[in-house]
């Protein structure tokens, strides 16, 4: 893959796929600008070379065409501030106005195209739509790791129009480098922490990790399917009844491979799925009927933290409980703090996007871990050994 440092953008119009899918409040104010800041180094490199930038992104999940709440025009003010210059805006990503604005773009100038997902052709990977995007620029730069697992027009297909001029941006390159470090150059002991609701979402990555890790800690809703498979009583906790045999087979595979697979020993339980529920603690195999586990319990918190603090490489993907509810966030907070402590002692820690990244940011540990991925699904698929279309298209 050609990297951005290998290319001189002087006099070139760079068509840059970024991931500006940022959260907005009801007044269209950005509540987390991490993804905007993540692309700035790439954009500054192009501008400092003497090139101009045409930004492409999606925002939200619009259905059937333009919706004002998903318009990228809401980001223009923030981008003006980020780049210290006026960012032009094309209200139609591939229309006559976009073409005219792109043609008149001068070195040092930036143009933002309207939300690509206002066009059904984007997610279909339509070749004609990709060619209409391609005519706007001279070189294609993909810096949107978060969408690299999708073969969309702007993330993969458009690269075909730039056989000699397609490069990966700094963010994309760093995401791949950090994933490779964990997958293939991990210092031991290597601990992976998997959370979230369902085993079915994490089967492939768990199977991959069983060949690589020393410790595999399982938390979140998926832990209860393991508990049930082992004959436990889990009350009304989350259960994938069709995955009980799979859970047992994963436990067996871990034993065969000498991996320390660690399940929660206790849970914080509630009598309803709400922050104001009655709360108690129960052994993970003895949760009473009418109650549900919503976070790992105090024994499990200490057990997980001790293993994490003794690790040299740490991968974390998925919360330990319903951390959006303050009464069930402590397990996730313990894990985040233990990772920060291990990192301070020299461990390498990779936080795997999505809810894990949100938790680390919200809890104030963002600057105390080694790397926070911007791509939840993309990182998972990369870790599963799948080829990402957005990365493959740059080769």
Catalytic residues: 35, 198, 354, 377
Among candidate residues 100, 21, 8, the one with its CA nearest the CA of residue 54:
100
Helix (H, G, I), strand (E, B) or coil at 259: coil
For residue 263, the surrounding DSSP H or E stretch is none
DSSP class of 353? S
Residue 379 has φ and ψ, to the nearest 5°, of: -65, -40
Fill in the DSSP letter of residue 374: S
Residues in a beta bridge with 24: 30
Convert 106-139 into a string of H (helix), E (strand) and C (coil): CCCCEEEECCHHHCHHHHHCCHHHHHHHHCCCCE
Question: Residue 127 to residues 141, 144, 152, 160: CA-CA distances in angstroms?
Answer: 18, 19, 9, 9
Would you tell me how many other CB atoms lie within 10 Å of the CB of residue 81?
12
Sign of CA dihedral 303, 305, 310, 314: positive
CB 198 within 8 A of CB 222: yes
Locate 6 and state its tokens.
């290998």
Cα within 13 Å of Cα(127), Cβ side: 2
Return the H-helix or E-strand segment holding 390.
helix 389-392
Name the nearest CA neighbour of 76 among 41, 15, 135, 29.
29
Q: Where are the beta strands (DSSP E) in the chain?
A: 13-17, 52-56, 87-90, 110-113, 139-142, 166-168, 190-194, 215-218, 233-234, 260-262, 266-270, 279-283, 286-287, 292-296, 313-317, 348-351, 371-372
Q: What letter does residue 8 receive in the DSSP assignment?
A: -
Cβ–Cβ under 8 Å, residues 211 and 258: no
């Amino acid at each position: 893959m050609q990297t951005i440092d290998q290319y001189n953008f002087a006099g070139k119009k760079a068509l840059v796929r970024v991931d500006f899918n940022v959260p907005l409040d009801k007044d269209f104010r950005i509540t987390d600008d991490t993804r905007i800041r993540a692309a700035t180094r790439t954009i500054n490199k192009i501008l400092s070379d003497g090139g101009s930038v045409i930004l492409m992104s999606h925002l939200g999940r619009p259905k059937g065409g333009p919706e004002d709440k998903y318009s990228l025009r809401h980001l223009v003010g923030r981008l003006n501030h980020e780049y210290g210059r006026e960012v032009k805006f094309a209200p139609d990503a591939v229309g006559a106005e976009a073409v005219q604005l792109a043609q008149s773009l001068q070195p040092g100038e930036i143009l933002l195209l309207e939300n690509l997902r206002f066009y059904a052709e984007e997610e279909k990977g339509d070749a004609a739509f990709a060619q209409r995007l391609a005519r706007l620029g001279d070189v294609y730069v993909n810096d949107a790791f978060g969408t690299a697992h999708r073969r969309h027009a702007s993330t993969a297909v458009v690269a075909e129009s730039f056989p000699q001029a397609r490069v990966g941006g700094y963010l994309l390159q760093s995401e791949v480098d950090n994933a490779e470090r964990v997958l293939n150059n991990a210092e031991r002991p290597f601990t992976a922490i998997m959370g979230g609701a369902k085993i079915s979402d994490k089967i492939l990555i768990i199977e991959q990790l069983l060949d690589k890790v020393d410790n595999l800690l399982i938390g979140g809703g998926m832990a209860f399917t393991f508990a049930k498979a082992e004959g436990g009583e889990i009350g009304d906790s989350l259960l994938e009844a069709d995955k009980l045999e799979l859970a047992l087979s994963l436990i067996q595979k871990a034993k065969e491979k000498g991996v320390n697979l660690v399940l929660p020993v206790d849970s914080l339980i509630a009598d309803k799925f709400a922050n104001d529920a009655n709360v108690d603690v129960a052994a993970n195999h003895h949760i009473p009927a009418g109650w549900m586990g919503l976070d790992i319990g105090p024994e499990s918190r200490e057990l997980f933290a001790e293993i994490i603090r003794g690790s040299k490489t740490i991968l974390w993907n998925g919360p330990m409980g319903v951390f959006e509810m303050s009464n069930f966030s402590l397990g996730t907070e313990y894990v985040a703090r233990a990772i920060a402590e291990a990192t301070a002692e020299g461990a390498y820690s990779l936080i795997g996007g999505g809810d894990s990244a949100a938790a680390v940011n919200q809890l104030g540990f963002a600057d105390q871990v080694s790397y926070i991925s911007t791509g939840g699904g993309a990182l998972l698929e990369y870790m599963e050994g799948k080829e990402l279309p957005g990365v493959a298209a740059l080769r």
